[in-house]
Homo-oligomer: A and B are copies of this chain.
Amino acid sequence: MSIEDIRAEVCDLHRHLTRWGLVTWTAGNVSARVPGKDLLVIKPSGVEYDSLTAKSMVVCDLDGNLVDGEHSPSSDTASHAYVYRHMPEVNGVVHTHSPYATAWAARGEPIPCSITAMADEFGGDIPIGPFALIGSDDIGRGIVETLRGSRSPAVLMRQHGPFTIGPTAKAAVKAAVMCEDVARTLHLARQLGPVDRLPATAVDSLFDRYQNVYGQPLMEGQ
The yes or no answer to A141 lying at the interface (CB within 8 A) is no
Copies in the assembly, this chain: 4
The yes or no answer to A52 lying at the interface (CB within 8 A) is no
Minimum Cβ distance to chain B for residue A10 (Å): 18
Minimum Cβ distance to chain B for residue A162 (Å): 12
With beta carbons under 8 angstroms apart, the residue of B99, B116, B117 that contacts A181 is B99
Q: Are A106 and B216 in contact (CB under 8 A)?
A: no
The yes or no answer to A37 lying at the interface (CB within 8 A) is no
The yes or no answer to A189 lying at the interface (CB within 8 A) is yes
Q: Are A189 and B107 in contact (CB under 8 A)?
A: yes
Minimum Cβ distance to chain B for residue A153 (Å): 13
Task: Find chain B residues with CB under 8 A from A134 CB.
Answer: 116, 206, 209
**Complex-state Cα separation, A105 to B182, whole angstroms:** 13
With beta carbons under 8 angstroms apart, the residue of B107, B116, B205 that contacts A192 is B107
How big is chain A's contact interface, by range?
35 or more
The yes or no answer to A85 lying at the interface (CB within 8 A) is no
**Complex-state Cα separation, A15 to B76, whole angstroms:** 28
The yes or no answer to A66 lying at the interface (CB within 8 A) is no
The yes or no answer to A159 lying at the interface (CB within 8 A) is yes
**Complex-state Cα separation, A97 to B188, whole angstroms:** 13
The yes or no answer to A161 lying at the interface (CB within 8 A) is yes
Say which one of A86-94, A142-150, A195-203 lies at the interface with B. A195-203
The yes or no answer to A193 lying at the interface (CB within 8 A) is yes
Task: Find chain B residues with CB under 8 A from A198 CB.
Answer: 159
Task: Find chain B residues with CB under 8 A from A8 CB.
Answer: none
The residue on B at minimum CB distance from A135 is: B209
> Known: A194-B107, A222-B46. Is A102-B75 also a contact (CB below 8 A)?
no
The yes or no answer to A80 lying at the interface (CB within 8 A) is no
Q: Are B219 and A46 in contact (CB under 8 A)?
A: yes
**Complex-state Cα separation, A76 to B219, whole angstroms:** 18
The yes or no answer to A27 lying at the interface (CB within 8 A) is yes
The yes or no answer to A100 lying at the interface (CB within 8 A) is yes
The yes or no answer to A11 lying at the interface (CB within 8 A) is no
Can you list 7 A-B contacts (CB < 8 A)? A24-B181, A45-B216, A97-B117, A100-B188, A103-B191, A115-B161, A159-B196
